[in-house]
Chain A
Amino acid sequence: MAFVNWLKRRLVIIAGLLTLGYLLLPNVVVTVFSFNQPKGRFNYEWQEFSTAAWTSPCGVADLCGSLSLGLQLAAWATLGATVLGTMIAFALVRYRFRARGAVNSLIFLPMAMPEVVMAASLLTLFLNLGAQLGFWTILIAHIMFCLSFVVVAVKARVMSMDPRLEEAARDLYAGPVQTFVRVTLPIAAPGIAAGALLAFALSFDDFIITNFNAGSTVTFPMFVWGSAQRGTPVQINVIGTAMFLVAVLFVMAGMVIGNRRKKQKA
């Protein structure tokens, strides 16, 4: 009975931790199988321990090429979407103008649309225009679908900004450019950074829209998709594990810095 009571009190914690386990299980498998030495082409069964893949992560043809292409694309898409999205966010929060509702809907729709619909319609456009599918069509598509997410992230931050800070800067005879660079931008920076980070992650990991509009260009997710049919090299697991570790380190570093700032202010 005591045990049942103990269980009852901790039911939420146990259920929550089980879900967390479900979320992390594939990552554990990816990490473990990055040390596997598969016998055949498919890395689905545990054979024996080996660090071969870790010592030659680029040992598979085209893998690192697709990785660097994906990173370049994500960088440009992030830049494009962040600049365009930040401008839209400022316009939406700071100005009253006609058609605000329509603009809001246009921003919202790409997020509420199944990716496959967007991907397919963009492909019909490119086919109709006779555009050459490749780097540029992917970049256009990525900027398009990342844009809305940046707008939402930046908007949230700009809304909580006190406009009086900028008024104060102006009262102190700062010009519009000076006000923007020295006051507005630093305050909005966390929102812009969040938007940019989101755009980068979305673009780098996007498969569906890229699959439709890439032509014969191969980004990293496209490489993984192709290799799923031919047999996945262990190196894919190595890169997956490395990405996970880098992300955890980055987020933790960010939190440590954030906490230190908070303490300094206090």
Chain B
Amino acid sequence: MSTGTLAEAEAPPPLAPAPATGKPPRRRGRWTPYLLLAPGLIWLLVFFAMPMVYQASTSVQTGSLEDGYRVTWHFATYWDALSEYYPQFLRSVLYAGSATILCLLLGYPLAYLIAFRAGRWRNLILILVIAPFFTSFLIRTLAWKTILSDGGPVVGALNTLHVLDVTSWLGLTAGDRVLATPLAVVCGLTYNFLPFMILPLYTSLERIDGRLHEAAGDLYARPFTTFRKVTFPLSMPGVVSGTLLTFIPASGDYVNAELLGSTNTQMIGNVIQSQFLRILDYPTAAALSFILMAAILLMVTVYIRKSGTEDLV
């Protein structure tokens, strides 16, 4: 990923040399930037980069918890992990992908509303989008258990409308239940990451000059055409960063699948968590988390290339 590009693009031009003011221009210490950077970078190198190296080494170790592990370059762990847990990998991509698409579909109207239609309500709606963040997300996810509870109003309504018949047939729900089904997990994921979609969308929509809409209208574009040809293309930076901000964390999440799902809806995060913290099979767990990281980096790179917005990140 071209990570530096945004920073480079936004960075102000290099400081002009101090204009002659009588006194000699102040010499900026050559070492000052390095001194400023050092503590934070050392922190990131020791506690972010080095752990990756340790994990890489763990993933090619063999041994047991009792006898200790040794690096034996046992790459078969990767293959074994992949062949055993590919359903969970696929499920993670599928659930995270569906949640991302739902977030885009649900989030776009709200972002549009805040940016163009809210008027004096704008700040209030923004507060209402951000404020739920401050209630612990675990508490809010648990609340979905109440909302989707068996025989509750939501399930009842869906049943009356025969929605559950359709979703059951599609394999998204099971019988009269929504909890412990894929639908519940995707609903939770969508809910949890929706603000990460709305805020970038709003920021990029807000930058659009309203006169462009007027111009499109003057040229006899119908509202939908204006949206398709003017608004949406101009909001692409928000769409790209929003989808990344939803998809990446959603694919590694295990909280929603654990609280709202069942053993049939486990995502790869659940597997990594239980391998690491319950089964204590560190090599497999390390290999799984590397595969997840590689898969996401690959998908994100392809996505950024395809969307042609390489200098956004």
Contact = CB atoms under 8 A, between A and B. Distances in A.
A120 B254 contact: no
B303 interface: no
Contacts of B90: none
Most chain A CB neighbours (cut-off 10 Å) among B40, B55, B248: B40
Nearest to A70: B136
A130 interface: no
Contacts of B39: 84, 87
B11 A93 contact: yes
B47 A228 contact: no
A263 B21 CA distance: 36
Interface in A229-252: 232, 236-237, 239-241, 243-244, 246-248, 251-252
Contacts of A94: 15, 33
A211 B138 contact: no
Contacts of A225: 138, 255
Contacts of A135: none
A170 interface: yes
A244 B132 contact: yes
Interface string A100-140: 11011111111011111110111111011000000000001
Interface string B161-204: 00000000000000000000000000000010011001000000
Contact of B147 (A25, A101, A239): A25
A5 B289 CA distance: 52
B134 A246 contact: yes
A22 B106 contact: yes
A178 to B, nearest CB: 14
B123 interface: yes
Contacts of B111: 16
Given A44-B149, A114-B252, A159-B10, A228 B3 contact: no
Contacts of A118: 48, 51
A243 B135 CA distance: 6
Contacts of B134: 201, 243-244, 246-247
Contacts of A237: 139
Interface in B75-119: 106-107, 109-114, 117
Contacts of A220: 136
A26 to B, nearest CB: 4
In the complex, which range does the number of interface residues on chain A fall in?
A: 35 or more
B207 interface: no
Nearest to A127: B282
A192 to B, nearest CB: 14
A24 B128 contact: yes
Contact of A19 (B37, B55, B109): B109
A122 B4 contact: no
Interface in A1-48: 11-13, 15-20, 22-27, 29-30, 33, 43-45
A80 B26 CA distance: 31
Interface stretch (B210-218, B232-240, B270-278): B270-278
Given A220-B136, A240-B140, A17 B113 contact: yes
A247 B178 CA distance: 32
A57 interface: no
Contacts of A13: 113, 117
A224 B29 CA distance: 50
Most chain A CB neighbours (cut-off 10 Å) among B112, B136, B195: B136
A114 B106 contact: no
B293 interface: yes
Nearest to B45: A106
Nearest to A90: B36
A196 interface: no
B106 A30 contact: no
Given A12-B109, A12-B113, 18 more contacts: A16-B117, A19-B106, A22-B106, A22-B191, A23-B129, A26-B143, A87-B37, A88-B37, A91-B36, A101-B4, A106-B45, A108-B1, A114-B249, A114-B292, A123-B276, A143-B47, A208-B255, A239-B139
28 contacts: A15-B109, A19-B107, A22-B191, A23-B191, A26-B135, A26-B140, A30-B135, A33-B146, A92-B7, A95-B32, A104-B3, A105-B4, A108-B1, A109-B48, A113-B293, A114-B248, A116-B254, A116-B292, A120-B272, A122-B48, A124-B51, A147-B40, A159-B12, A208-B254, A208-B255, A220-B136, A236-B139, A240-B139
